[in-house]
Every structure is written in C-alpha cells, then in structure tokens.
Amino acid sequence: MRPRFLVSLHGLHDALRQMRGTYKLGAVIFILTIALFYAIGFQAPNDFPRGVIVEIKKGSGAKQVAETLAENNIIVSSTWFTSLLVIFVGEERVIAGKYFFPEEENAFTVAWRLAQGDYELDPIRITLPEGATIAEMGTILGRRLFHFDAATFAQITEGKEGYLFPDTYYISPIASPEEVADLMKETFLRRIESLAADIERFGKTLHEVVTMASLLEKEARQMETRRMIAGILWKRIEIGMPLQVDAAFLYINGKNTFQLTEKDLAIDSPYNTYRNRGLPVGPIANPGLASIEAAVTPITSPYLYYLADKRGVTHYSRTFAEHVAKKRIYLP
C-alpha cells in the first residue's frame, strides 16, 4: 500500500500538470484572439496610400475622425479606431490639421500622432548645387519631395534659367513646383542685393552679368581663376571675338570639352559661342553668388586665351599660336 503522503503528492502533481495544460491552451487562445483583434481593426490596410495628406477638420469628434481616415484607407476599421481614440486619446484630444503619411502606419501610431499633432511635415534639407540647370534641379527635387512634378517645375520656370538661386533649402516634403520656384526666385533677388552696387557700377545689365556668371560657373572653381577668365571673356566681347566657351555645349548637347567634335562646334544654336559673337542668348545654368561677383570684378590681364588641363589647372596665353602650343602640351 502506497504511503498516504505519496498519494497526496502524486495527486498534486497531476493537478498542476492539468493546470499547466489549461494555462497553455488559454495563453494560445489569448494570443490568437489578440492577433485576430489586431488584424481586423488595428494593422495598416494592405492598400495604405503612401505619400497622402489627410486633413482633420477642427472640431471633429472621434467618430468623424475615424471615418475620414477610413475613407482615405489610413485605417482598416472606423469602428475599432473610434474606440481606440476614445479609450487611449480621448474624444477632445485629437489635434486638427493636415497629416502627412509618407509610410504605412498601424492604428496605434496614427492615434498617437493625432493626439500629439505630429503632422510629419518637417522640412527636408535639399542642396541644389551651384551651376545646376533648371532640369537638373527638377530631377533633384523630384527625388526628394513627394509627388513633385519636375515637368511642371520646368514649365513654370521657363525663361528663368540663371535666376533660380542654388542653395541649401529646407522645403516641406509636400511643396508644390510653384512654391519651390517662388522660393528660389525670391532667394535670388534677396542674395543679389549684396552685389547690386557692384553690378550697377560695372555698367552691364543684370541679364548680361548672370549670363557671364553662368559661363564662369562651368569654366572654373576658384574665385581668382573665374575673375581671370571673366577679364578674358569681356575683352573678347569688346574686340568682337567669339567667346568660344566649350561649357556652353553642356547646355546645348551635354558634351564637355573633351567630347566635342568639329561637327558639334558648328551646331546652329543661340548658345553656340563658336558660331555667334557676344554672350549666349541667356544663362546656361544657375550660378552662385561667387560667380556673379567674379563676373563684375574681372581681372585685367594681357591674356586672350585660356585652357584647363585634365587636372583642372588653367593655363593662359597671349596669342593663338601660344594657345595651340599649350594645347599640345596639356591636352595631348
């Protein structure tokens, strides 16, 4: 006969084992219930519209907010989300405004943002480099901003090449092409004010100065070199000599100095500085302030020719024969 205390211990062991089994089953059911609960009401919809803006109007109650979000596919269930807002946020704590949704979010994150007024519209830092064309700027902006139409940007800035100031901007991720264009034009006017006296004293129109600056932006990187080249180019204009600036072909056909052929030099274009005397019809890029300053502060020199070797070093010549000789040396 088994001792009584062993029988008792054995019964207790069986009871605990049954309890553990029941607990495990309950835990599994609980987890499955929570997962189903989440899937039905709180996970992001499969067709979540990334990059959309949803406006929550002032005075909207929890139910109205939920319905607005559901209509825009931000949440799965307006019923479940209404309950979530009331329980965790409060009927009156939703902050009105335009909410931007760059990526999909679950209902809990959306509710938290509504309570905090987190519109997700922090400005994006975008650098538009000096010497960039309008087309290049449009490409950069199109990659960084949501739904930014580079074609529209090009259309509304037609004729403004050279007058969109290249700089580092902090731009709303949902800024329109019109808003960005206005910002850049206003920045140009503001920044050019510091050189207004120099430009007036120089005696050239703003259009002439900006056009020259756009050439200098492409021809050199150092301020002194730009000023030296400015002196040479203004002198060529004065004596009626074609500018013969290779950088203009970057704007015409995308070719640089080392890619140009005799056929390229004969292209019929108002930007061709080999066929036409004087400045091109307009800027070939959007110059920075330094290039604009160099255009109106040229260095007078005895030189009439210049060339940059493959290392970017600029060599100057007084005569064409000297220029040709240096070409053979530095551009074999």
Task: Flag whether pLDDT at 195 surpasses 60.
Answer: yes
Residues 169 and 208 in one domain: no
Residues 176 and 228 in one domain: no
Question: pLDDT-based confidence at 29, cuts 50/70/90?
Answer: very low
**162 vs 62, more confident:** 162
Task: Flag whether pLDDT at 265 surpasses 80.
Answer: yes
Long-range contacts from 7-13, C-beta under 8 angstroms, 24+ separation: none
Q: Does residue 9 form part of some domain?
A: no
Q: Does residue 10 form part of some domain?
A: no
Q: What is the pLDDT of residue 43?
A: 81
Q: Give me the chain's average pLDDT, please.
A: 86
Residues 251 and 319 in one domain: yes
Q: Which neighbouring-strand residues pair with 101? A: 52
Residues 130 and 109 in one domain: no
Residues 209 and 186 in one domain: no
CB atoms within 10 A of CB 177: 21
Question: pLDDT-based confidence at 28, cuts 50/70/90?
Answer: very low
At 131, list the tokens. 């010497």
Interval 167-182 mean pLDDT = 94
Q: Does residue 177 form part of some domain?
A: yes
Domain range spanning residue 60?
52-116
Q: Does residue 40 form part of some domain?
A: no
Give the closest residue to 193 by CA, choosing from 152, 151, 234, 165.
165
Residues 158 and 238 in one domain: no
Task: Flag whether pLDDT at 2 surpasses 90.
Answer: no
- List for the chain the helix, strand, coil content (%; round to 5): 55, 10, 40
Residues 226 and 129 in one domain: no
Q: What is the pLDDT of residue 269?
A: 94
| Boundary of a domain, candidates 169, 192, 215 | 192
Residues 261 and 142 in one domain: no
For the segment 215-260, what is each residue's pLDDT rounded down to a tens digit?
999 999 999 999 999 999 999 999 999 999 999 999 999 888 888 8
Give the closest residue to 171 by CA, choosing from 137, 199, 212.
137
Residues 129 and 106 in one domain: no
Q: Does residue 112 form part of some domain?
A: yes
The torsion region of residue 93 among left (phi > 0), alpha (psi -120 to 50) and beta comes to: alpha
CATH number (domain holding residue 186): 3.30.1490.480
Q: What total of structural domains would you count in the chain?
A: 3
| Boundary of a domain, candidates 171, 192, 213 | 192
Residues 231 and 318 in one domain: yes
| Boundary of a domain, candidates 116, 132, 157 | 116
Strands (E), the chain: 52-56, 97-101, 124-127, 168-171, 305-308, 314-317
For the segment 107-165, what is each residue's pLDDT rounded down to a tens digit?
888 988 988 888 888 899 999 999 999 999 999 999 999 889 999 999 999 999 999 99
- Distances 246 to 226, 258, 292, 295, 316 between C-alpha atoms, Å: 15, 9, 19, 18, 16
Q: How far apart are CA 251 and CA 284, in angstroms?
A: 6
Q: How far apart are CA 253 and CA 245, in angstroms?
A: 14
For the segment 34-60, what is each residue's pLDDT rounded down to a tens digit?
444 444 557 888 888 888 889 998 888
Residues 149 and 103 in one domain: no
For the segment 270-304, what is each residue's pLDDT rounded down to a tens digit?
999 999 999 999 999 999 999 999 999 999 999 99
Residues 302 and 219 in one domain: yes
